[in-house]
Amino acid sequence: MSKEFRKKLIVVAIAIFLCNSALFAQQLPLFSQYMMNDFYINPAVAGTKDYAPIVIGVHKQWVGMKEAPSTQTLSGHTSLYHKQMGLGGILFHDKYGPSSEIGFKAIYSYIFRITRHDNISLGLSAECYQYKLDQRNFDPTWYDDPSLTYLIEKTIIPDASFGVYAFGTGPGRHYYASVTVANLFQSKMKVNQNIKENKMVRHYFIFGGYKFEFKKNRKTVDFELEPSVMIKTTEKTLPQFDINLKFFIKQDYWFGVSVRPGDSFIANVGVKYKQYYFGYAYDVTFSDLSNYTWGSQEFIFGVNIGENARKHRSFF
Protein backbone atom coordinates (compact mmCIF):
# COMPACT_ATOMS: atom_id res chain seq x y z
CA MET A 1 0.00 0.00 0.00
CA SER A 2 1.38 3.42 -0.95
CA LYS A 3 2.25 6.03 1.66
CA GLU A 4 -0.20 8.44 0.04
CA PHE A 5 -3.05 5.93 0.33
CA ARG A 6 -2.24 5.28 3.99
CA LYS A 7 -2.51 9.01 4.60
CA LYS A 8 -5.94 9.01 2.98
CA LEU A 9 -7.06 6.17 5.25
CA ILE A 10 -6.03 8.13 8.32
CA VAL A 11 -7.87 11.21 7.11
CA VAL A 12 -11.01 9.14 6.51
CA ALA A 13 -10.76 7.62 10.00
CA ILE A 14 -10.50 11.06 11.60
CA ALA A 15 -13.38 12.41 9.53
CA ILE A 16 -15.65 9.54 10.52
CA PHE A 17 -14.88 9.26 14.20
CA LEU A 18 -13.93 12.80 15.20
CA CYS A 19 -16.28 14.88 13.08
CA ASN A 20 -20.03 15.15 12.85
CA SER A 21 -19.89 13.61 9.41
CA ALA A 22 -22.59 12.38 7.06
CA LEU A 23 -20.48 9.34 6.28
CA PHE A 24 -22.10 6.44 8.09
CA ALA A 25 -20.76 3.18 6.69
CA GLN A 26 -18.09 2.82 9.37
CA GLN A 27 -19.74 4.36 12.45
CA LEU A 28 -21.36 0.98 13.06
CA PRO A 29 -19.81 -2.40 12.19
CA LEU A 30 -20.67 -3.94 8.84
CA PHE A 31 -21.90 -7.55 8.61
CA SER A 32 -22.56 -9.95 5.73
CA GLN A 33 -24.53 -12.75 7.44
CA TYR A 34 -26.93 -10.77 9.63
CA MET A 35 -29.72 -12.99 8.24
CA MET A 36 -28.29 -15.76 10.45
CA ASN A 37 -28.08 -13.52 13.54
CA ASP A 38 -30.68 -10.77 13.22
CA PHE A 39 -30.53 -10.36 17.00
CA TYR A 40 -27.37 -8.30 16.53
CA ILE A 41 -29.30 -5.84 14.37
CA ASN A 42 -32.57 -5.69 16.34
CA PRO A 43 -32.88 -6.05 20.15
CA ALA A 44 -36.54 -7.03 19.75
CA VAL A 45 -35.42 -10.43 18.39
CA ALA A 46 -34.38 -11.45 21.92
CA GLY A 47 -36.50 -14.34 23.16
CA THR A 48 -38.37 -14.95 19.90
CA LYS A 49 -36.70 -18.29 19.12
CA ASP A 50 -37.61 -21.74 20.44
CA TYR A 51 -34.05 -22.09 21.70
CA ALA A 52 -31.22 -19.96 23.10
CA PRO A 53 -28.77 -19.14 20.27
CA ILE A 54 -25.16 -18.24 20.99
CA VAL A 55 -23.20 -16.91 18.01
CA ILE A 56 -19.55 -15.99 17.51
CA GLY A 57 -18.81 -13.78 14.50
CA VAL A 58 -15.62 -12.51 12.87
CA HIS A 59 -15.76 -10.00 10.02
CA LYS A 60 -12.59 -8.96 8.21
CA GLN A 61 -13.25 -6.13 5.77
CA TRP A 62 -11.09 -5.24 2.76
CA VAL A 63 -8.70 -8.20 3.03
CA GLY A 64 -5.17 -7.34 1.89
CA MET A 65 -5.39 -3.73 3.00
CA LYS A 66 -3.40 -2.68 6.06
CA GLU A 67 -5.40 -1.40 9.02
CA ALA A 68 -8.71 -2.33 7.39
CA PRO A 69 -11.84 -2.73 9.58
CA SER A 70 -12.11 -5.91 11.64
CA THR A 71 -15.01 -6.86 13.94
CA GLN A 72 -15.47 -9.67 16.47
CA THR A 73 -18.76 -10.35 18.26
CA LEU A 74 -20.22 -12.77 20.80
CA SER A 75 -23.99 -12.71 21.25
CA GLY A 76 -26.69 -14.74 22.94
CA HIS A 77 -30.32 -14.47 24.05
CA THR A 78 -33.09 -16.52 25.58
CA SER A 79 -36.80 -16.32 26.42
CA LEU A 80 -38.35 -15.98 29.89
CA TYR A 81 -41.75 -16.17 31.55
CA HIS A 82 -43.57 -18.46 29.12
CA LYS A 83 -41.84 -16.82 26.12
CA GLN A 84 -43.34 -13.41 26.85
CA MET A 85 -39.99 -11.75 27.52
CA GLY A 86 -36.46 -12.02 26.23
CA LEU A 87 -33.03 -11.26 27.69
CA GLY A 88 -29.74 -11.14 25.86
CA GLY A 89 -26.30 -9.65 25.60
CA ILE A 90 -23.65 -8.80 23.03
CA LEU A 91 -19.90 -8.33 23.44
CA PHE A 92 -18.12 -6.66 20.53
CA HIS A 93 -14.75 -5.36 19.41
CA ASP A 94 -14.34 -3.23 16.30
CA LYS A 95 -11.05 -1.90 14.96
CA TYR A 96 -10.36 0.36 11.99
CA GLY A 97 -6.83 1.65 11.51
CA PRO A 98 -5.88 3.77 14.53
CA SER A 99 -9.38 3.65 16.05
CA SER A 100 -11.06 0.86 17.99
CA GLU A 101 -14.18 0.18 20.05
CA ILE A 102 -14.85 -2.47 22.68
CA GLY A 103 -18.07 -2.76 24.61
CA PHE A 104 -21.26 -4.60 25.46
CA LYS A 105 -25.03 -4.42 25.01
CA ALA A 106 -27.61 -5.55 27.56
CA ILE A 107 -30.95 -6.31 25.89
CA TYR A 108 -34.56 -6.77 27.03
CA SER A 109 -37.66 -7.48 24.95
CA TYR A 110 -41.37 -8.02 25.50
CA ILE A 111 -43.39 -10.18 23.10
CA PHE A 112 -47.07 -9.59 22.31
CA ARG A 113 -49.16 -12.45 20.89
CA ILE A 114 -51.43 -10.75 18.34
CA THR A 115 -53.02 -13.97 17.11
CA ARG A 116 -52.19 -17.64 17.56
CA HIS A 117 -49.51 -17.39 14.87
CA ASP A 118 -48.67 -13.67 14.68
CA ASN A 119 -46.45 -11.81 17.11
CA ILE A 120 -44.88 -8.40 17.70
CA SER A 121 -41.87 -7.89 19.93
CA LEU A 122 -40.49 -4.62 21.31
CA GLY A 123 -36.85 -4.51 22.37
CA LEU A 124 -34.46 -2.10 24.05
CA SER A 125 -30.69 -2.29 24.15
CA ALA A 126 -28.59 -0.43 26.73
CA GLU A 127 -25.08 0.00 25.35
CA CYS A 128 -21.72 1.12 26.64
CA TYR A 129 -18.34 1.00 24.94
CA GLN A 130 -14.88 2.47 25.05
CA TYR A 131 -13.70 4.31 21.97
CA LYS A 132 -9.94 4.67 21.48
CA LEU A 133 -7.97 6.64 18.89
CA ASP A 134 -4.20 6.06 18.74
CA GLN A 135 -2.63 9.14 17.13
CA ARG A 136 0.99 8.40 18.02
CA ASN A 137 1.97 7.28 14.52
CA PHE A 138 -0.09 9.76 12.54
CA ASP A 139 1.56 11.21 9.46
CA PRO A 140 -1.06 13.80 8.44
CA THR A 141 -1.29 15.64 5.15
CA TRP A 142 -1.58 18.92 7.04
CA TYR A 143 0.00 20.28 10.23
CA ASP A 144 -1.12 22.26 13.28
CA ASP A 145 -4.58 20.68 13.06
CA PRO A 146 -6.39 21.16 16.41
CA SER A 147 -8.08 17.77 16.08
CA LEU A 148 -4.73 15.96 16.43
CA THR A 149 -2.96 15.47 19.75
CA TYR A 150 -0.56 12.64 18.74
CA LEU A 151 -1.61 10.79 21.91
CA ILE A 152 -3.91 7.86 22.71
CA GLU A 153 -7.35 9.38 23.21
CA LYS A 154 -10.04 7.36 25.02
CA THR A 155 -13.64 7.97 25.97
CA ILE A 156 -16.62 5.98 27.29
CA ILE A 157 -19.79 6.28 25.22
CA PRO A 158 -23.23 5.17 26.52
CA ASP A 159 -26.19 4.88 24.17
CA ALA A 160 -29.21 2.72 23.35
CA SER A 161 -31.10 1.06 20.50
CA PHE A 162 -34.80 0.37 20.10
CA GLY A 163 -36.41 -2.23 17.85
CA VAL A 164 -39.76 -3.59 16.70
CA TYR A 165 -39.95 -7.13 15.34
CA ALA A 166 -43.01 -8.76 13.76
CA PHE A 167 -42.87 -12.47 13.02
CA GLY A 168 -45.04 -15.47 12.32
CA THR A 169 -45.02 -18.95 13.80
CA GLY A 170 -46.68 -22.09 12.57
CA PRO A 171 -47.68 -23.27 9.09
CA GLY A 172 -47.79 -20.58 6.42
CA ARG A 173 -46.44 -17.89 8.76
CA HIS A 174 -42.74 -17.86 7.89
CA TYR A 175 -42.40 -14.09 7.66
CA TYR A 176 -40.42 -11.53 9.63
CA ALA A 177 -40.13 -7.74 9.50
CA SER A 178 -38.19 -5.40 11.73
CA VAL A 179 -37.35 -1.75 12.30
CA THR A 180 -34.39 -0.69 14.43
CA VAL A 181 -33.21 2.71 15.62
CA ALA A 182 -29.55 2.56 16.69
CA ASN A 183 -27.58 5.29 18.49
CA LEU A 184 -30.93 6.41 19.87
CA PHE A 185 -29.55 9.25 21.99
CA GLN A 186 -26.80 10.30 19.55
CA SER A 187 -24.28 10.42 22.39
CA LYS A 188 -21.47 12.92 22.29
CA MET A 189 -17.94 11.62 21.71
CA LYS A 190 -15.61 13.56 24.01
CA VAL A 191 -12.43 12.23 22.44
CA ASN A 192 -10.67 15.52 21.89
CA GLN A 193 -11.00 18.73 23.91
CA ASN A 194 -10.43 20.81 20.78
CA ILE A 195 -13.52 19.43 19.02
CA LYS A 196 -16.81 19.92 20.86
CA GLU A 197 -19.47 18.77 18.39
CA ASN A 198 -18.58 15.09 18.02
CA LYS A 199 -21.52 12.72 18.34
CA MET A 200 -22.79 9.42 17.08
CA VAL A 201 -25.33 9.54 14.26
CA ARG A 202 -28.73 7.89 14.65
CA HIS A 203 -29.10 4.92 12.28
CA TYR A 204 -32.23 3.22 10.97
CA PHE A 205 -32.45 -0.40 9.80
CA ILE A 206 -35.47 -1.90 8.07
CA PHE A 207 -35.22 -5.62 7.46
CA GLY A 208 -37.76 -8.17 6.29
CA GLY A 209 -38.14 -11.45 4.47
CA TYR A 210 -40.14 -14.63 3.97
CA LYS A 211 -39.16 -18.29 3.89
CA PHE A 212 -40.93 -20.45 1.29
CA GLU A 213 -41.06 -24.17 2.08
CA PHE A 214 -41.07 -26.93 -0.51
CA LYS A 215 -42.08 -30.23 1.09
CA LYS A 216 -41.68 -33.78 -0.09
CA ASN A 217 -44.58 -34.70 2.22
CA ARG A 218 -46.46 -33.10 5.13
CA LYS A 219 -43.62 -33.70 7.60
CA THR A 220 -40.44 -33.45 5.53
CA VAL A 221 -39.14 -30.13 4.18
CA ASP A 222 -37.02 -30.79 1.10
CA PHE A 223 -35.72 -27.28 0.51
CA GLU A 224 -36.50 -23.66 1.35
CA LEU A 225 -36.08 -20.35 -0.43
CA GLU A 226 -35.68 -17.17 1.62
CA PRO A 227 -35.60 -13.72 -0.04
CA SER A 228 -35.02 -10.69 2.18
CA VAL A 229 -34.22 -6.98 1.94
CA MET A 230 -32.29 -4.69 4.25
CA ILE A 231 -32.52 -0.87 4.10
CA LYS A 232 -29.95 1.16 6.05
CA THR A 233 -30.07 4.92 6.39
CA THR A 234 -29.49 7.92 8.67
CA GLU A 235 -31.06 11.36 8.92
CA LYS A 236 -28.16 12.72 6.86
CA THR A 237 -27.58 10.08 4.18
CA LEU A 238 -29.45 8.39 1.36
CA PRO A 239 -30.71 4.83 1.96
CA GLN A 240 -28.45 1.88 1.23
CA PHE A 241 -29.98 -1.43 0.16
CA ASP A 242 -29.05 -5.09 0.57
CA ILE A 243 -30.96 -7.58 -1.58
CA ASN A 244 -30.56 -11.16 -0.29
CA LEU A 245 -31.54 -14.61 -1.47
CA LYS A 246 -30.80 -17.75 0.55
CA PHE A 247 -31.43 -21.39 -0.39
CA PHE A 248 -31.68 -24.15 2.26
CA ILE A 249 -31.34 -27.87 1.47
CA LYS A 250 -33.01 -30.21 3.99
CA GLN A 251 -32.59 -27.46 6.60
CA ASP A 252 -28.96 -28.47 7.19
CA TYR A 253 -27.08 -26.85 4.26
CA TRP A 254 -27.45 -23.44 2.70
CA PHE A 255 -25.96 -21.09 0.18
CA GLY A 256 -26.96 -17.58 -0.74
CA VAL A 257 -26.13 -14.35 -2.50
CA SER A 258 -26.53 -10.69 -1.60
CA VAL A 259 -26.10 -7.50 -3.61
CA ARG A 260 -25.30 -4.05 -2.25
CA PRO A 261 -25.85 -1.89 -5.36
CA GLY A 262 -22.77 0.16 -6.16
CA ASP A 263 -20.75 -1.45 -3.38
CA SER A 264 -20.38 -5.23 -3.35
CA PHE A 265 -21.59 -8.72 -4.21
CA ILE A 266 -21.69 -11.31 -1.41
CA ALA A 267 -21.73 -15.11 -1.60
CA ASN A 268 -22.27 -17.22 1.51
CA VAL A 269 -22.44 -20.92 2.40
CA GLY A 270 -23.09 -22.85 5.59
CA VAL A 271 -23.75 -26.18 7.22
CA LYS A 272 -25.71 -27.25 10.30
CA TYR A 273 -25.16 -30.41 12.39
CA LYS A 274 -27.60 -31.05 15.21
CA GLN A 275 -27.51 -27.83 17.28
CA TYR A 276 -24.35 -26.45 15.72
CA TYR A 277 -23.83 -24.46 12.55
CA PHE A 278 -21.08 -22.70 10.65
CA GLY A 279 -21.32 -20.01 7.98
CA TYR A 280 -18.84 -18.30 5.67
CA ALA A 281 -19.35 -15.21 3.49
CA TYR A 282 -17.12 -13.59 0.90
CA ASP A 283 -17.68 -10.05 -0.38
CA VAL A 284 -16.47 -8.86 -3.78
CA THR A 285 -16.04 -5.07 -3.79
CA PHE A 286 -17.32 -2.95 -6.71
CA SER A 287 -16.02 0.43 -5.57
CA ASP A 288 -12.63 2.06 -6.16
CA LEU A 289 -11.32 0.12 -3.16
CA SER A 290 -11.16 -2.93 -5.43
CA ASN A 291 -7.78 -1.58 -6.57
CA TYR A 292 -6.40 -2.19 -3.07
CA THR A 293 -8.30 -5.24 -1.77
CA TRP A 294 -9.63 -8.56 -3.05
CA GLY A 295 -12.75 -8.43 -0.89
CA SER A 296 -14.03 -9.08 2.63
CA GLN A 297 -14.63 -12.26 4.62
CA GLU A 298 -16.88 -13.25 7.49
CA PHE A 299 -17.13 -16.37 9.65
CA ILE A 300 -19.89 -17.26 12.09
CA PHE A 301 -20.21 -20.20 14.45
CA GLY A 302 -23.39 -20.81 16.39
CA VAL A 303 -25.05 -23.24 18.78
CA ASN A 304 -28.81 -23.36 19.47
CA ILE A 305 -29.03 -24.41 23.10
CA GLY A 306 -32.22 -26.30 23.88
CA GLU A 307 -33.25 -26.80 20.27
CA ASN A 308 -35.36 -29.90 19.72
CA ALA A 309 -33.90 -31.69 16.69
CA ARG A 310 -37.24 -33.33 15.95
CA LYS A 311 -38.95 -29.98 15.41
CA HIS A 312 -38.71 -27.69 12.44
CA ARG A 313 -35.26 -26.09 12.52
CA SER A 314 -35.85 -22.71 11.01
CA PHE A 315 -33.16 -20.06 11.47
CA PHE A 316 -35.54 -17.14 11.81
CB-hemisphere CA count at 13 Å for 208?
10
pLDDT of residue 313: 46
The class of domain 3-305 in CATH terms is mainly beta
Q: Looking at residue 307, what DSSP letter applies?
A: -
Task: Write down the pLDDT at residue 141.
Answer: 62
CA distances from 46 to 39, 75, 107, 231, 299 (A): 6, 10, 7, 21, 22
pLDDT above 60 for 22 = no
Which residues are paired to 232 by β-bridges?
205, 240
Distance separating alpha carbons of residues 94 and 23, to the nearest angstrom: 17
For the residues 19-33, what does the mean pLDDT come to? Answer: 58
304 CB-near residues (< 8 Å, 6+ apart): 49, 51, 52, 53, 275, 277
pLDDT for the residue numbered 67: 77
Q: What is the rounded average pLDDT of the residues 57-78?
A: 89
Residue 278 has what pLDDT? 97
pTM tops 0.85, yes or no: no
pLDDT, tens only, 165-217: 999 987 778 999 999 999 999 888 776 665 556 778 899 999 999 999 887 77
Out of 59-63, 249-253, 300-304, give the one with best mean pLDDT: 300-304
The answer to whether 276 and 303 have CB atoms below 8 angstroms apart is yes
Amino acid occupying residue 225: L
Mean pLDDT for 40-44 is 95
Considering only CA atoms, which of 229, 205, 230, 200 is closest in space to residue 43?
A: 205
What DSSP designation does 135 have? -
pLDDT tens digits, 102-147: 999 999 999 999 998 999 999 999 999 998 887 776 666 655 666 6
pLDDT single digits (tens) 244-287: 999 999 879 999 999 998 888 999 999 999 999 999 999 998 87
Domain assignments of the chain as residue spans, ordered by start = 3-305
Of 155, 123, 150, give the one whose Cα is nearest residue 138.
150
CB 271 within 8 A of CB 252: yes
